[in-house]
Amino acid sequence: FVFNHTSDEHEWARRALDGDETYQGYYFTFPDRTLPDRYERTLREIFPEQAPGSFTYRPEIDRWVWTTFHHFQWDLNYANPAVFRAMLGEMLFIANLGVEVLRLDAVAFIWKQMGTPCEGLPQVHTLIRAFNALVQIAAPAMLFKSEAIVHPAEVASYIAPEEAPISYNPTLMALLWESLATREVRLLRHSMSKRFEIAPDCAWVNYVRVHDDIGWSFADEDAAEMGIHGFDHRQFLNRFYNGQFPGSFASGLPFNYNPITMDMRISGTCASLAGLEQGIELGDETAIDHALRRILLIHSIILSAGGIPLLYLGDEIATLNDHGYKADPAKADDSRWAHRPAFDWPRAEHRHDPATAEGRIFQTLQRLIQIRKSSPVFAGNRTLFFDTHNPHVLGYIHNHHLLVLANFSEAEQVVSRNVLNVYWSIPKGAVDLVTGDPLPDAFELRLQPYQFMWLMPVLNTSEQG
């Protein structure tokens, strides 16, 4: 639900362009650059390559219009009560169609105030609470999901029963890719230990990829506590996922490089970022195998950590980057089209053959989803991240009963049972739900390259809750 702005082709914008002052009041329009210039002193450019600046001149009305994202997307003026009422009406119309979850797009941007970045202001939360309160009266089955790609501490500020009970988890997503690049889980573990816990009646939406680019949305202070310089680390990650870093397996593409701030994001499908595209191009069977293992590893995290897993269409069959967008002038300057291809139905037919990349990913994901559906232990948000004393192995305990270990390196790794016993008293009869094998009675647990384990004692249903 895009509620920060409308298209300039929307009826309200068309009426504003026709000179209707009522509808001009639905937006922010200015007769000259005086106020826009003052606002822009504290605004950041969202798309500096495609849409520099935050205001667009419209000769039809001889006015400047606030356009945070693109010249054709006009920001709405929520200081105008008529806008609030109109957008509430749109929400309720959608609810009457049967929609149960409404994704609040670009939620942090909906309030403007001179001298601020106009992101995440207190009035934003007031507006969301007001919308939520009214929606709960008229359509109590509908929930809000926040989409706030902001500082990790600010992401959590939107998650509450009275605001958005569910939210994307961009920090987990970014740090899954960070851990694949570094082969270390220190920053991922540390950040999740600090930031994963939310109210018990709320939930994260955990994901690996979506339709947008990847921004390295970890907190600099979290990185500093691990001895990592945030700015330098982002430069490394950009080079790694662009394939510019020596030894990189990734075939990502740069998106929106800002030469002033050196900020940049990464485009690409999960499979291409994980190394499958490069492995196929090189004809390297080991590289292909490692890429498929990486894809399954990070999906195993979003399926087993607390929250709601979200799979991006095409990732279930290891879809590669579509470089054809470069031949389309309307898309050539936006690398996100590389991971927005038309669905490849002929390729999807290979999902039935486990000997293919498509089949290996699809059938393994199906099995993991079935395991998740079959046990109540995967419900809820209670997740304890702990130090496995192996920098390459992530460990966490979900709902007290499920122990997850995940090896983020292409080498075999070991974890001592003594370390695990500090956090989880390993019972006799524990099994790996992924393989069905009993936990070996050995001093050390060995994980193969990119292997993950879902360890759980055999419990009855009442114990699992």
Give dist(CA 195, CA 54) in Å, integer.
31
CA distances from 14 to 24, 61, 449 (A): 10, 11, 57
R_g over Cα of the chain: 24
Among the listed residues 147, 178, 184, 222, the single catalytic one is: 147
Among the listed residues 20, 40, 45, 105, the single catalytic one is: 105
Quote the tokens at residue 431: 């099994």
Please, are residues 303 and 366 in contact by the beta-carbon 8 Å criterion?
no
The question of whether 163 is a catalytic residue gets the answer no
CA distances from 148 to 21, 100, 339, 452 (A): 32, 20, 21, 30
The question of whether 45 is a catalytic residue gets the answer no
CA distances from 196 to 232, 361, 449 (A): 25, 27, 26
CA distances from 251 to 207, 274, 290, 358, 446 (A): 20, 8, 14, 18, 30
Place of tokens 């939930």: 203
389 phi-psi bin (left φ>0, alpha ψ -120 to 50, beta other): left
Q: Where are the beta strands (DSSP E) in 86-129?
A: 101-104
Q: Catalytic amino acids?
A: 105, 147
